[in-house]
Structure 1
């Protein structure tokens, strides 16, 4: 299966279990791997047979910067469901949602949730 990868997309959202996270917000990063057959797109040099990166970015942005959720799992699930619904030729989608500098005890660079969904 061919892959399109969008790496380290950056957003500002209001997700988290703590009240301060939903009031103040924080940075989030998203990595995507989109799996589909790209042979027709490559052969015909046709975006309609591929996936528009700008549209993908806008969809992810709307979710991450949209309605606050407590869990990264909930945000990640919304992204995978939206992308699979939007692109019928997309066979598998892997989303990694990264929360840099999480407000939890200890010293962490980040925490993340990775989710893969297929047709």
Structure 2
């Protein structure tokens, strides 16, 4: 059986993640994209929110992680966000991208993105 997808793109939250002291002190905006892989047929069949992932609540939980305890690497942040996505037993797999558009790079660039994929063990 193939799985359906729920995608949340462009979630913005301010965090204090980074290796440099200035990043920890000043903070910056991070952008998060997640794709959840799950079977949405039971929710659709009964028009039942309890049988799917409430993306509004997911967005809030992801923002709280970004705004929460600082980490040095966005790889670590992505892992924490994936844990939030997989907290629902309905989710079989999650893909998480963390964008750091204001990364301290002394050259012109558009974005820095770390993308991870995690599955339920």
Q: TM-score over 0.5 for the alignment?
A: yes
Q: What is the TM-score normalised by the length of structure 2?
A: 0.94
Question: Does residue 115 of structure 2 align to residue 114 of structure 1?
Answer: yes
The alpha carbon displacement at 1:89 in A equals 1.1
The alpha carbon displacement at 1:111 in A equals 0.2
Which of 60-69 and 97-106 deviates more? 97-106
Match for 1:31 among 30, 33, 40?
A: 33
Q: What is the TM-score normalised by the length of structure 1?
A: 0.96
1:84-117 CA distance string (max 9 Å, x none): 1x20010000000000121112111110100100
Structure 2 stretches lacking a partner, 5+ long: none
Q: Which residue of the partner structure matches residue 95 of structure 1? A: 96
Question: Does residue 92 of structure 2 align to residue 59 of structure 1?
Answer: no
Q: Which residue of the partner structure matches residue 21 of structure 1? A: 23
The alpha carbon displacement at 1:83 in A equals 2.0
- The 3-state SS of whatever aligns with 1:5 is strand
- Between the aligned partners of 2:111 and 2:102, the Cα distance in structure 1 is 5
- The 3-state SS of whatever aligns with 1:29 is strand
List 4+ stretches of structure 1 deviating above 4 A: none
Does the CA-based 8 Å contact 1:60-1:79 persist in structure 2?
Answer: yes
